[in-house]
Amino acid sequence: MGESQEGAAATKPLEPPRARLWLGAAVFVGGFFAPVLIPLVTASQLPAGVKTVIAGLLAFGVPEICMLIALAILGKPGFAYLKSKIKRAVGDLLFPATVGRLRHGTGIFLLAMVVLFAWIGPYLTIVSPALQERMTVFALAGDALLVVALVLLGPPFWGRLADLFRHAPGGAVERPK
């Protein structure tokens, strides 16, 4: 085998057998859906201590254990192959090299709304005390919208945002390559 073929083989993970790939992918993805079961556990008739342990495991234990099981099913090359497929599928959608005008405008609008509501939210509870009971929901919704806005704005915006935190003596910021 020539050097160029060896280099290409080293960068592109080999596809594992199809049955192992599907089983490993199901365990890998299924583990990340374990936290969805937490509301069922909290609504059950189990004692509070048992609910706490099960909910904690569903949030912080089961996803990690499922990743280890998926790794065991797929093997290291199969896991690398699955990870590269997921990154390629999600990366192209969420992290394009360029961001279109509509996507950028939508991201700026959402970012502005998050900042505006975070700024005036505490004052709205004075006008309407009933909102105070729902402030946690509004805060979580605002956090989710912030993440959506940053994903929509894409890597070019993240670079400009990171530049705000880099000090350059002459004023010009050099971005790392």
pLDDT tens profile 108-128: 999 999 999 889 888 888 888
pLDDT tens profile 69-86: 988 998 888 888 888 888
Q: Regarding predicted confidence, which is higher, 74 or 168?
A: 74
Give the residue extent of every domain in the chain. 3-94, 101-163
Q: Whats the size of the chain, residue-wise?
A: 177
Query: What's the pLDDT score for residue 173?
Result: 59
d(CA 146, CA 138): 12
Looking at the whole model, is its pTM more than 0.85?
A: no
